[in-house]
Every structure is written in C-alpha cells, then in structure tokens.
C-alpha cells in the first residue's frame, strides 16, 4: 500500500501495534460522543456496533449515559457492545424495535444509508445526534 507521508505518524516509543490500531477509532468515537453534548443520564441509541460504535458505547458509559441501546446486523458486535456497557442490544433488521427506542441522543456509526435512516427514526423529537459513519450513496427518493 502506498500512502502520502502526510497521512503517516511515527508511533511514540512504547506504543505497541495493538494499542496503536485502536487510537483512530477511539478518537472518532470520543469525538462523536463529545459532539452529542452532555449525555449524563440520557438514553442513547448507538447505530452500528463495530469498532467505532463499541468504543462509543464505552465512552458513553464512562460519561454517565443512562440507558444505552446498541444496534448492529451481526451478533458478535452486539456481544462486544454489551460487554463494554450497552444496556440493551437490537438487531438492525428490527425496525419496529429501533423506532420504539426514541432516544435522547443518537450516535450513528454504521457507515450505511440504512443505519442513517434508523438513526433518524430512532431519534427523539428533541434529541441531538452525532453522525460518525461515512455513508455511500443510498437509494434515491423522489
């Protein structure tokens, strides 16, 4: 793989590759939660429980979020999300359950237009949401 040198960083002494591999997704998760504002005591819906979503769950738990619901299409990411602090997990295909959440805050980290639609549906009327997934073009709507 060839990358521009401006995209590369020298690892500080003592930082192993496993830790280094978590720095960027952890920073994205931390930033997404920070953009959502004060989450203490609030219900949060996390769409996408891959590395960034699971790390967002951990950051939310640390920040004192109330009920955290994690959503994903795969079982293993949901297991990980539960292990790091999600109070409830939902399969992404269960639109009715996702729509019923009506969270105070939504973190979208799926990178899917379906996930983005779920985030919008699951957001409460006044709740902020933070979008950290980069979505490919979705179906056009007229």
SS3 130: strand
Q: Which residues of 75-109 are buried (b: 16+ CB within 10 A; e: fewer)?
A: eebbbbbbebbbbbbbebeeeeebeebebbbbbbb
For residue 52, what pLDDT is reported? 93
Domains identified in the chain, total number:
1
- Read off the CATH number of the domain in which 107 is found: 3.40.50.720
pLDDT at 123 over 70: no
For residue 79, what pLDDT is reported? 98
Name the token pair of 36: 């959502």
Domain that holds residue 118: 39-131
* Residue 122 domain-assigned (yes or no): yes
* Residue 16 domain-assigned (yes or no): no
Q: Beta 129-131 vs 68-72: how paired, if at all? A: unpaired
Q: Which of 15-19, 64-68, 99-103 has the lowest mean pLDDT?
A: 99-103
Determine how many CB atoms are found less than 10 A away from the CB of residue 28.
Answer: 17
């Amino acid at each position: 793989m060839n990358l521009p040198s401006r995209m590369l960083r020298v690892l500080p002494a003592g930082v192993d590759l496993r830790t280094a591999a978590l720095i960027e997704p952890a920073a994205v998760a931390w930033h997404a939660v920070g953009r959502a504002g004060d989450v203490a005591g609030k219900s949060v819906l996390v769409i996408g429980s891959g590395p960034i979503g699971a790390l967002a769950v951990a950051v939310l738990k640390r920040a004192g979020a109330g009920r955290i619901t994690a959503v994903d299409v795969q079982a293993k990411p949901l297991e990980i999300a539960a292990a790091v602090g999600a109070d409830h997990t939902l399969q992404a295909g269960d639109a009715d359950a996702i729509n019923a959440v009506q969270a105070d805050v939504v973190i979208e980290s799926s990178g899917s237009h379906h996930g983005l639609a779920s985030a919008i549906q699951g957001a409460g009327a006044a709740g902020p949401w933070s979008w950290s997934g980069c979505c490919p073009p979705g179906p056009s709507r007229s």
